[in-house]
Structure 1
Amino acid sequence: MVVPLLENRNTPHHTNMFYVQVTFICVLLVPCVLGDPTIVSRSEWGARSPRSRSYRRLPVSEVIIHHSDTPSCYTSSSCKARVRSIQNHHMNTNRWSDIGYNFLVGEDGRVYEGRGWNKVGAHARGYNSRSVGICMIGDFMSSIPNGAALNAVRGLLAMGLSQGKLTSYYRLRGHSDVGATSCPGSTLYYILSSLKLLSA
C-alpha cells in the first residue's frame, strides 16, 4: 500500500524525513477495520448544556483533524473525564458556547459526540461553518494514535459518507493547513491522507 503524504512546509526537512519513515512503518502495521464506530452521546459523557447553537446544512465538504494536546485516554471513564475537561476549558476559559469540536476520539476506540454533524463548531476560524472538526485526544507531536483510535476515525468518516453528512469529494485537512498552529501534531499530520484513503 502506498500512502500519499501531506507536505508541512513549517517543519525542517530533516524532521520531515524522520516522520515520513516512521509514518510508513506505523501505518502499515495498523490494521484497518471499518464499521460503524461506537459513538458516546453527550448525555453519556456528561456534557453541559450549550449556551447557544448554530445549525448548518449538510453535507459539508471539509473535515479538519485536531489533537487535544493533552494526555491520552485509554478507558471509557478516563476519556469521558477528558472530554468534560475540554468542554469546561472551552466554555469557561475561551468563553465559547459549547465544546468546540464536532467529535472527539479517544484511544479507547470510541467517538465522543461534541456538537455533532449538523451544528457549527468552534475549532478552525474561517472554516467552522463548512467543516467537521474531529479532535483526537492526546499529544501527537512525536507519536501516532493507536489502532483503535485510527479505526474509530475511519469508521466515523465512512459513516459520514454513507449517511450523506459529508460530500463524496470532501477534503481532509489538519488544523495547521488552515491556521498558524502545530495542531494536530507532526506525526499525526503525516498519516491524515491514509485515513481518507482507507475510509472513502
Structure 2
Amino acid sequence: MGTAPRVILRGEWGAKHDNGAGSAPVPAAEVWLHHSVTAAPDVVPPFDDDYAAVRALEEIGERSFGKGIAYTWLITPAGLIFEGHSHDRLGTHTGGRNSKSRAICFVGDYDNQKPTTAQIQAAAWLLQEAKSHGWIKNARLDGGHRDVKATTCPGDHAYEAIESINTLAAGPSVTEID
C-alpha cells in the first residue's frame, strides 16, 4: 500500500529566497521535465535528505539566477513532491518559455539512474492535480528540456519515462505513490 501524494509547500521545506522572478499567467500552456544533475536522496524515511536536497537546489538557483529555486515542482526518488516557486510565478527553468511554461524537476542525475516508480507516479498525479486546479492547461508533459534547448536534460532515463508519465496522467486518478 502506497502513500497519498501531496505537494510539500515552500514554507514546509524551508524556502529562504524569492518565490520566482515575477508573476506568470495561469494556466500554463506547457510543462517541461528537467533533472537536477545533483546527488539523489535515498528512499528511506525520515526523508531529511530530500528536504536538504531541495534547499540545496534553491541555493543553486539563487546563485545562478538571483530569484530562488528555478523549478515549479521537484520530485525526489521517494516520490515526494516539493513546491519550488509557486504555480503562478515565473521560473528560470526553460529559457525563452518561462512565461508560458512550468517545470517538473526530478532530483538526481537521470543520465546515470532510472526514475523510480514513485517519481513517475508522483509526476502523473501532479499533472492531474495541476490541471484540476487550473494551474496548467493539459495534464501532460510537453517534453524534456532537451526538446527546446541543446542540452541532455532531463537525462536519457527520465526522457524515456515521459511517455509513461503522460499515459498515467491521461488515465484514472493517481491516488497513491508506491
* TM-score category of the 2 structures, normalised to the smaller one: 0.7 to 0.9
Match of 1:81 in 2: 52
Question: Could you tell me how far apart the structure 1 residues matched to 2:74 and 2:20 are?
Answer: 20
Q: Distance in 2 between matches of 1:175 and 1:152?
A: 19
Q: In structure 1, what residue type is equivalent to 2:151?
A: T
8 Å CA contact retained: 1:71, 1:138: yes
Q: Provide the C-alpha distance between the structure 2 equivalents of 1:51 and 1:161, rounded to a whole number of angstroms.
A: 21
- Counterpart of 2:120 in structure 1 is 150
2:67 corresponds, among 94, 97, 102, to 97
Whether the 8 Å CA contact 1:36–1:155 is kept in 2: the answer is no
Closer, same or farther in 2 for the Cα pair 1:199/1:52, shift >3 Å?
closer
Return the match for 1:109 from 76, 79, 90: 79
Matched letter for residue 159 of structure 1: E
Query: Residue 79 of structure 1: SS of its match in structure 2?
Result: helix
> How far is 1:89 from its partner?
1.3
**Sequence identity percentage:** 31
SS at match of 1:129: coil
Partner of 1:3: none
Deviations 1:100-153 (A, max 9, x none): 001100112111111121111100100101111110001111432111111111
Q: Which moved more, 1:65-74 or 1:166-175?
A: 166-175
C-alpha distance 88-57 of structure 1, shift in aligned 2 (>3 A): same
Considering fraction of residues, name the structure with more strand.
1
Secondary structure of the equivalent of 1:168? coil
Q: Does 1:128 align with 2:98?
A: yes
> What is the root-mean-square deviation in Å for CA atoms of aligned residues?
2.0
User: What amino acid does structure 1 have at the position aligned with 2:68?
Assistant: D
Q: Which residue of 1 aligns with 2:9?
A: 41
Contact 2:140 2:169 (C-alpha < 8 Å) held by counterparts: no
In structure 1, distance between residues paired with 2:19 and 2:129: 28
Q: 1:55 aligned to 2:23?
A: yes
Alpha carbons of 1:167 and 1:36: their partners in 2 closer, same or farther (altered >3 Å)?
farther
Change (3 A) 1:110 1:138: same
Structure 2: gaps spanning 5 or more residues: 171-178
Aligned position for 2:174 = none
> Is the 2:20–2:90 Cα contact (8 Å) retained in structure 1?
no
Cα shift at 1:167: 1.2
Kept in 2: contact 1:42–1:113 (CA 8 A): yes
Q: Answer with 1 or 2: which has the greater Rg.
A: 1
Give the conservation status (yes or no) of the 8 Å contact 2:19–2:85: no
| Cα shift at 1:96 | 2.1
Deviation of 1:95 after TM superposition, in Å, equals 3.7
* Letter of the structure 2 residue corresponding to residue 68 of structure 1: S
Distance 1:169 1:110 in 2: 19
Return the alpha-carbon distance in structure 2 between the equivalents of residues 142 and 52 of structure 1.
29
Count of residues in Structure 1 that have an aligned counterpart in Structure 2? 166
Pick closer, same or farther for the CA change 1:140–1:118 going to 2, 3 Å: same
Q: Give CA deviations for 1:3-57 in whole Å, capped at 9, x if unaligned.
A: xxxxxxxxxxxxxxxxxxxxxxxxxxxxxx8x96221111111111317641122
Q: Aligned pair in 2 of structure 1 residues 104, 168: CA closer, same or farther (>3 Å)?
A: closer
